[in-house]
Structure formats: C-alpha cells, structure tokens
Structure 1
Amino acid sequence: MERVDLMPPPADDDSAHGDDPATAGLADAYAAVPLLNCLLREVARPVRRDGEHRVYHLPGGDRLLRVRGARRPAAPEVRTGDAWHRLDHAGLVALVADELRRRTGLSNHELPAEMLDSRDAVAALLAARARTAPPADPYRRSEQSLLTGHTHHPAPKARGGGPAAGWLPYAPEAYAAFPVTLLGVREDTVVEEGDTSALDALGTAPPGYRLLPAHPWQLHLAGAELAAAFADGRLVHLGTAAPGSWPTAAVRTLYAPGHDVFLKFSLDVRITNDIRRLWRHDLLALRRTDAAVCAAFETFDGPPAWLGDRGYRTAGFAFEALAVLVRDGFAGRLLPGATPLLAAGLAEGFEGSPLERTADPEGWWTAYLACAVPPVLWAFARHGVVLEAHLQNTLVAVDALGVPVQALYRDAEGVKLLPDVSREAGWERLVYCLVVNHLTEIAAALAERHAGFDPWPAVRRELSRHDVPEIPALLASPTLPAKTNLLLRWTGADGADARYLPLPSPLAGT
C-alpha cells in the first residue's frame, strides 16, 4: 500500500489563512485528510486510477475530483474545463458544502464554519508543538498524538469557534498538563452516585462542604451559569490539586497520575458530533451500564479488560455543568510490566510507537487481535453488552518488546445493552466500532509500513475462533457498515443517531 506524507503545498497558498507560513500549508494538509475521507466514503464515486492519483466523480455537481493516496488522501484537485485546479482547505470546504447542498437540498452554515475552525485549530496546535517538547511517558505521548484525530469526520479538531488562547492551554494535542481546580460545594446541594471517594483524596473541604474538582476550561465556559452560586456561598474556590494532570485524547477527560485516576468533566463545546456535556440521562444510567460491563468481564477468561466508571459527583443546582465522573486508573488492572498505549495513537503514529518499529508484522498483528477482539465478542455474545470499541476507547498494553499483551476498554457512556437496543442494531454498532473504525485503521497503518503484508487473513482467523452466531455472515458479507459522519452533521441529525452505508469489506476478499 502506498504511503502519502502530509507535506505542505507551496508557500504561495499560505497567505489566505493568516497563519505563520511555516505551519499554514501543513495545517491545510492535516485538516484535509479526514474531510476528504468523509467526502470520498459518503458522496463520491471512484472512477479510475491515474498514475499517482485516484479520480472520483462528485454526482451533485457532476465534477471530477482527484487526490493522491488512499488512507490519507492529499493534494485535492477539481477538474475545471480542460485542467486540474488545486484546492486549499478553504476551497475544499466550499466544494464539499456545494456538493452537499446539491445532494441533500439542505443548507447548513454551521458545519462549514466548524470545518474551518478545525483547520485553524490544527494550525494553532502545530505552532504550540513547535515550542513544546513531547512528553517522555509513552502512554501520555500516545494519548496526546492526535493532530489528525478521527479519520472520518469533517471537523475533528473544532473547538467551538472560540479563540485559541481560550482552549490551547488545555489541549492534549499541544502536550498540555495542568492541575485541576478544586471547588467546595455546599453539602446539602451535593448529588452523587457510586464510589466517588477518589475525589476526597484530592484535598480538604471546609466544614459543611464537599470537594468537587473542576476543569479550568469548564469553569470558564460555565462562568455565567455559576456566578450566583459563588456569590451566595453554595460554591467556594479552594485552589488547585493534582499537579501534572493531563488531558487524554478525549479532551475533557484528565488523567491524574499521582492519584492514578481518570476524571471526566462537562465541556459545553462541540467536539466531533456532540456537545461534550455530562448529560443527566447518561449519568443516571451510568451505574447500571458500568455494572453490566463489570459483570460481563468478571467471567472473561483473560486479563482485565475494562476501566470502570465508578461514580459521579455534582451539585443539584448545576447538575450537568459541574458533573465530574470518576474512572478507574491502572492499579490492579494493567498487567505487571506492561505499558498502555492508545489505539488511536497507534493508528496515527507517534515517536516510539511499537507498531512502527516491529520487524514481525504478522506476529505483532496476531498478538494485537488476540488482545483486542475477544473481550468485545465475549461481552456481546455472553452478556448482551455492546462496547463502543473504537480507537479512542481502546488502550492496548505492550510488553518490553512492544508486543501487545492486553486490551483495556473504557467509557460506559458509549456502551449499549441488549435489549435496550435490538441484537441486530447492537451487532451493527459493534462491527462498525471494532472492525471499521478500529481494526481497519490499525491494519492500514501496519500495512503502510510493511510492503506486501496483508493483515486481513489474520483478522478472519481471529473472528472465526469465536462462537458468535453473527460471525459467519460477517465473514461472507461483501460489505461492512460505515458511519456517515459528514451527512449526519450536514443534515443536523443527533450525534448518537448513527446511520451507516455499506463499505466494501476487506474480509470478503481474504
């Protein structure tokens, strides 16, 4: 498979964006990748290979588009008259918007603005990285490596349209680390469920109050909503705690290594498809969902595979705005001597990634599949639990040689339970998250680095080992379900309202 480097276009393209010329073209290139992936998957139709280019037909405007590369499409050009014309990122956004208006009959002013915001965020992140050394800890480096991010989303790095100075200090992609803010919330207003004792270890609250950590960006965004509570004493500032806490790839979830705990906060910012607020209905369902996953993995014959969401604490007068969720750390869960790595980081690439340095792609991939696939299929087939096993919810731990030895999944908010959803819908979601979003990306990244290596026979063998009634049909199907993030966002569908289109299955050709 060919590999296309994200090289900036000529410098004369840079002036349109007002960025540092050294980063502007590279920001265009990074931001174009996921947007092009969406356009080519959901709208365009392949026409032919033309040397180093792939040519596609855009049916809405009856135009031809060509790109270099496959997994990371680059250098988009549109055919006008008898010549190809290069598109910068702003031109690509305009082309996509016009194509979608023609295709759907709908206008959407919000999404193009998010696409431009996502590209400008990448430029800010590139500039920040140039001033900051990457973290030494390989786990943190994997979580904070995602400059491209979601490979099939039109605006994966959008940060709500605000100035970069407001969010950049808290951006994982800029290698941020900062202490959490500590609040005291009046005891008679506290709402909590589950085990929240880890919060009390962060500091000491004055009499009549309970500790409530907060994300600094969260407090800034919710300032007007909380002003009255600070004024009348329902909330008090208690300083900071957990120095050295850092944001994971999810942006609103911090890892506090000194306390070995993850803290997930509300942020009133749209990141990918959703406003990242801890919604009341999700919090109220949390204990049931997390308990179901824990029960499933208590019977799993393998290493621990779940980082549980223990409980939440908030204030009744600002239930969603101040909510904080407590997630398990690694103690007692991570195999001794193993190093956890974010699967999304493995797919995107980071310095020291074992995927990039392995000399035995077949052995590495077989070990990876043996870790990542069984827990997901066990939970579904034996317990009716549908894990959201996509790249950002999967940690793969490796041994001292970089060989995968364990997979750990996270995020009860994304878990679905049967029969709350039908078995058919649950299986479709599982296949999308595990196979299309997750395994396909890792497989492609591995194949890019090892010419001639075919990762799909090993996937077929691993799936065939499991007694799940749906697997024979999956292996025989010519297609896989692919989520349509571009069309979902353009048509204003709810972020949780997944819709799929058929994608040619690499399993069928194995």
Structure 2
Amino acid sequence: MDRVHLNPPPAADVAARADAHAVAPLLNCLLREVAEPHGGPGERQVYRLPGTGRLLRVLGERRPTEPEVWAGGAWQRLDHTELVKLVADELRRHTGLSNHELPAEMIDSRDAVAALLTARARATPPDDPYLRSEQSLLTGHPYHPAPKARGGGPAAAWLPYAPEAHAHFPLTLLAVREDAVVEEGDTSALDTLGEAPPGYRLLPAHPWQLDLVGRELAGAFADGRLLRLGTTGFDAWPTAAIRTLYAPERDLFLKFSLDVRITNDVRRLWRHDLLRLRRTDTAAATAFAALHGPAGWLGDRGYRTADFAFEELAVLLRDGFHDRLLPGTTPLLAAGLVEGFEGSPLAAAEDPAAWWEAYLAQVVPPALAAFADHGVVLEAHLQNTLVAVDADGIPAQALFRDAEGVKLLAEVERAAGWERLVYCLVVNHLVEIAGALAERHPTLDPWPAARRELARHDLPEIPALLSAPTLPGKTNLLLRWTGADGADARYLPLPNPLAGT
C-alpha cells in the first residue's frame, strides 16, 4: 500500500530540487565535452564556451551546481530552462548544426524529475535493499544531458511504471497462437506464469509497452493471433533499466521492449541484438564459469515473441539470484551506491579504504579475466554491475548482466574492445564509486589502491592504462546533438587519475 501524506512537498521545493537534479548532469556534459577552463581564483570554477565566447561559472566539481553566466558586467544565475537555452546556443555555434529535439528532451527530463519527486513523497520504498538500490536513481546517468526523459509523454502515462517512484505492478498476460511464436533458448519459465488456451503460448507483456503499440496490434487481436488473458497474480518491480523488471516471487528478471527514447536509444529489443543473444550470453557464461572466484553472470536464457510483432512484443528472460549469490550476502546496484539510498553500505563504511579495496577486488578481476582469457568485453558500467555485500556491508562478490551490451573480440578489434572496457569499467564505474567515497571521506585518495589492483593483472594493455595521461570519456551530449546512432560511442580524452598516483 502507498503511504499517503497529508502535507505534500511545496511546489517551490519540488521545483528547486528538480532543477538541481537536472542541472548537474547537463553541466557535467557541457564542461566535459565543450567548455574550456578559464582559470581564476575562488571557490567557483570559471569556464569559457568557445562557440559563443561566454563565460560560465559553477559551484563544485563532481556534481556542479548553481550555474552563472557573465552578462552585463555581473554574474547572472541560470535556472535549468535558461541553462538549456545557453547550451543549445553554444552547440549550434560549436557544431554548426541545429537540433530542436534534444532541448525538448532536456526539459522533459527535468519535468520528469519533478513528477518523480512528487510521486516519491507519496510512495513507500521497498523493504528489500536490493530493490531500493535499483529504484534510487533520481539523477541517473551523471554524464547525460537528459537522463530522465520519458519520451515527452504526460507523466500520468509513465509514472505507474517508474522505478524512481517505487512502482510495482502485475504483468499483462497475452496468448500468442502457436504458429506465430518465435523463441530461442530456454523460455520454459514463461509457461509457468499462467495458463494459455489450447493452440496458444503464454507471452507476458509490459503494460506501458502495450499502451504505446496497442494500435499496431489491433489486427492480431481481431483475427485471434493474440489474446488477452488478464494479469499475473504477482507484482514485478521495475529496475534502474526501467524496461527490465524483477519478479521476487519467481526470482526472475524479464526484459521487454519499450518504444521510448531513454538516454541515447529507443529501448526496443532489436531483432539484430536478439539474434546474436545466444552467442554473446554463451561466451559470457563460459568466461564466468572458468573464473577462480565468486563473481557471477546473470545469464539471458532466451527470448520469446510473435512473428508479426517481433520487436514490439519480445520478452527476454534473465536469471535471478538463485544459486548465484554467496550465502549471507545482499546484492546492490552499483549505480545506486553512487546515487545513494537508505541503508547504502558505501555511506556507512567505517573504514573507507578497506571497503574500497574490497570493492576493487570483487569488480576488477572478473572483467579483466573475461577480456584477457575469453575475448569477452563486458559492459561493466554502473547499471550492469551488482555488488553483493556481507552482513557488515563489505563487498564480497560482483555480479554482471546484460548480454545485449557484451562485445566479443572475435567480432571487434582488440583496441576498440579495450577502449570500451576501460570506458565502462574505469571511467563510468570506478571513477564514480571513487568519487562518491572521496566526497564522504576527503582524506581518502582512492587511486593508489585502484592502481595496485589493476597492476596485478598481466594484460599487455595495463602498463599503458596506468601511465597514459588520459582516459576515454563518452560524449553523450555531442552524440545526441549531432544525431549519431545511440550505439555509436565516440570518446574524448579525460585526465587519467591512475597516472597521477
């Protein structure tokens, strides 16, 4: 049951908090990808925007706030809407290209945060710390200009399915005529979710996806290829990925298509990804089976869909935690550790140096071993990594997921695969965890321990990683502004904290 508040948060408070959540990642993108440090003393950092020549200053570094622009002989404070206008003007001049879609997404992202803040004030967080960690991401990707955009639709359409609002809901059950079923891998768990009539197979669906593509399915419902059977007798909980749901009663993850742009992509289960799924999942599972240690792989067992709506109705089955977790441990989303949630062991670490060393020892070796020994490039970023902690909150095991994001060295050049791994594991992941720890413990220097852990591994790329002046940083703002494909990663050099140790 939801908890009802007699005194909801004031609108002005919600607006200010929504602005703060939305401003930080947009500034991070602008300062990383476009702005030039301008120097000058003071607690606020000053930058020059090369396209317009304007000066911008901000407070803080890891999550910058309070943007101000120099105008009329004084510093003028910018709210989120004004910052969006400034960024759009800068990017038009900087790139020579116009883009009307991305500024609207930035505004949509900020408005989504406001809706989420209001909804969270009336909702009860899950008791399970794992689910709390998955549903904690109010800011989201710290280096994306519109991390919380929801396709521009009204909040009433998506709030019932939003992890950040602590949503949980039953799945819609469909039946697909047997001659129209397409599946690969082990999909037997789907047949336990309900009972299909003779000549049909069960197909669970995300209710939001059905709302989005319902008109396209009218013919299939009319001619009997598709039937509605009701809903499951249990709830599923949306994870940080939004379209991936966890059903605790069944210990099963279900990943659906969702025809909404979230960060860089429309989140469909694309045909080409599904058709290579068995290959990538098998390679990752083989790599983890050969490891000497507790790390685990949450395998994508298989998928089922309908031939007349292959991508629209696809559902992918992912392993749950059964037989994968060490006894007495609790899995937590790495991205949740960065964002923060009630009960986070990162926030409670009494010995941050020891906690960090334990974290590195669980997360780094399996990612490097999969690459070096099996040619598997894990997408080991914050949202694809779970860290299981023991009763004292100390990291004891890492679990990785998402065969869709796995690359194989048999299909890509080693240098490209290594660059992707360094970005995902070091820049997107370790830099953020280290930053969150150091923010709470200013005397902690996390990089000597990271350097020691990386140096233990005998890969030819490691010496260069530890000595190179820069690391690859993904350019999400410029990717979206220039209309590049969401999977087309482009990198720019960032200062390497490992080399300065």
TM category (shorter chain) comes to over 0.9
Q: Which residue of 1 aligns with 2:494?
A: 503
SS in 1 for 2:472: strand
Match of 2:341 among 350, 361, 381: 350
Match of 1:102 among 68, 87, 93: 93
Q: Which residue of 2 aligns with 1:318?
A: 309
1:427 aligns with 2:418: yes
Q: Which residue of 2 aligns with 1:452?
A: 443
Q: Contact 1:146/1:348 (CA < 8 Å) preserved in 2?
A: yes
Q: Which residue of 2 aligns with 1:487?
A: 478
**Distance in 2 between the 1:121 and 1:129 partners?**
12
User: Which residue type is aligned with residue 448 of structure 2?
Assistant: P
Q: CA deviation at 1:451?
A: 1.9
Q: CA deviation at 1:481?
A: 0.2
Unmatched runs of 5 consecutive residues or more in structure 2? 1-9
Equivalent residues in 2 for 1:6-155, closer than 5 Å: 20-48=11-39, 50-155=41-146
Q: CA deviation at 1:42?
A: 0.2
Equivalent residues in 2 for 1:377-456, closer than 5 Å: 377-456=368-447
Match of 1:158 among 146, 149, 154: 149
User: Which residue type is aligned with residue 434 of structure 1?
Assistant: L
Q: Which residue of 1 aligns with 2:4?
A: none
Q: Contact 1:242/1:256 (CA < 8 Å) preserved in 2?
A: no
**Distance in 1 between the 2:468 and 2:321 partners?**
38
Q: Contact 1:282/1:413 (CA < 8 Å) preserved in 2?
A: yes
Q: CA deviation at 1:304?
A: 3.9
Q: Which residue of 2 aligns with 1:463?
A: 454
**Distance in 2 between the 1:179 and 1:329 partners?**
18
For these two proteins, the number of residue pairs brought into alignment is 492
**Distance in 1 between the 2:235 and 2:226 partners?**
25
Q: CA deviation at 1:52?
A: 2.1
User: Which residue type is aligned with residue 78 of structure 1?
Assistant: V
**Distance in 2 between the 1:49 and 1:378 partners?**
45
Match of 2:200 among 200, 203, 209: 209
Moved more, 251-260 or 47-56: 47-56
SS in 2 for 1:210: strand
CA offsets per residue over residues 31-66 of structure 1, 9 Å max, x none? 001000000000011122542211111111111101
**Distance in 2 between the 1:379 and 1:390 partners?**
15
Q: Contact 2:171/2:235 (CA < 8 Å) preserved in 1?
A: no
Q: Contact 1:140/1:248 (CA < 8 Å) preserved in 2?
A: yes
**Distance in 1 between the 2:23 and 2:40 partners?**
20
Q: Contact 2:259/2:267 (CA < 8 Å) preserved in 1?
A: yes
**Distance in 2 between the 1:461 and 1:335 partners?**
26
Q: CA deviation at 1:21?
A: 2.0
Q: Which residue of 1 aligns with 2:7?
A: none
Q: TM-score, normalised by structure 1?
A: 0.96
Q: Contact 1:267/1:277 (CA < 8 Å) preserved in 2?
A: yes
1:339 aligns with 2:330: yes
Q: CA deviation at 1:211?
A: 0.4
Q: Contact 2:251/2:320 (CA < 8 Å) preserved in 1?
A: yes
1:239 aligns with 2:207: no
**Distance in 1 between the 2:26 and 2:114 partners?**
16
Q: CA deviation at 1:305?
A: 1.8
**Distance in 1 between the 2:233 and 2:461 partners?**
46
Q: Contact 2:55/2:70 (CA < 8 Å) preserved in 1?
A: yes
Q: Which residue of 1 aligns with 2:169?
A: 178
Q: CA deviation at 1:243?
A: 1.8
Q: Contact 1:242/1:258 (CA < 8 Å) preserved in 2?
A: no
**Distance in 2 between the 1:419 and 1:47 partners?**
45
**Distance in 1 between the 2:40 and 2:218 partners?**
60
1:188 aligns with 2:179: yes
**Distance in 2 between the 1:419 and 1:460 partners?**
29
SS in 2 for 1:363: helix
SS in 2 for 1:78: strand
SS in 1 for 2:442: coil
Q: CA deviation at 1:231?
A: 0.9
**Distance in 1 between the 2:48 and 2:397 partners?**
43
**Distance in 2 between the 1:172 and 1:138 partners?**
14
**Distance in 1 between the 2:13 and 2:338 partners?**
26
Q: Contact 2:473/2:492 (CA < 8 Å) preserved in 1?
A: yes
SS in 2 for 1:300: coil
Q: Which residue of 2 aligns with 1:3?
A: none
Q: Which residue of 2 aligns with 1:227?
A: 218
SS in 2 for 1:489: helix
Q: CA deviation at 1:242?
A: 4.9
Q: CA deviation at 1:136?
A: 1.3
Q: Contact 1:300/1:375 (CA < 8 Å) preserved in 2?
A: yes
**Distance in 2 between the 1:242 and 1:331 partners?**
21
Match of 1:303 among 277, 294, 300: 294
Q: Which residue of 2 aligns with 1:478?
A: 469
Moved more, 131-140 or 386-395: 131-140
CA offsets per residue over residues 307-349 of structure 1, 9 Å max, x none? 0000000000100000000000000111111100000000111
Q: CA deviation at 1:82?
A: 1.3
Q: Contact 1:242/1:259 (CA < 8 Å) preserved in 2?
A: no
SS in 2 for 1:100: helix
CA offsets per residue over residues 269-299 of structure 1, 9 Å max, x none? 0000000000000000000110011111111
**Distance in 2 between the 1:403 and 1:91 partners?**
43
Unmatched runs of 5 consecutive residues or more in structure 1? 1-18
Q: CA deviation at 1:170?
A: 0.1
**Distance in 1 between the 2:64 and 2:316 partners?**
38
**Distance in 1 between the 2:121 and 2:298 partners?**
33
Q: Which residue of 2 aligns with 1:15?
A: none
**Distance in 1 between the 2:471 and 2:132 partners?**
32
Q: Which residue of 2 aligns with 1:366?
A: 357
Q: Which residue of 1 aligns with 2:3?
A: none
RMSD: 0.8
CA offsets per residue over residues 8-27 of structure 1, 9 Å max, x none? xxxxxxxxxxx922301110
SS in 1 for 2:61: coil
Q: Contact 2:295/2:362 (CA < 8 Å) preserved in 1?
A: no
Q: TM-score, normalised by structure 2?
A: 0.97
CA offsets per residue over residues 173-192 of structure 1, 9 Å max, x none? 00000011100111110000
**Distance in 2 between the 1:410 and 1:144 partners?**
17
